[in-house]
Amino acid sequence: MAVRNIRRDSNEEIKKSGKDAAISEDEIKKSQEDIQKLTDQYIHKIDEILKKKEQEIMEV
CATH number for the domain running over 2-59: 1.10.132.20
Least confidently predicted of 2-11, 33-42, 48-57? 2-11
- Measured CA to CA, the distance from residue 18 to residue 32 in angstroms comes to 12
**What is the residue extent of each domain of the chain?**
2-59
Please, which residues have CB within 8 angstroms of residue 24's CB and are 6 or more apart in sequence? 18
Tell me which of 15 and 45 has the higher pLDDT. Answer: 45
The pLDDT mean for the chain works out to: 90
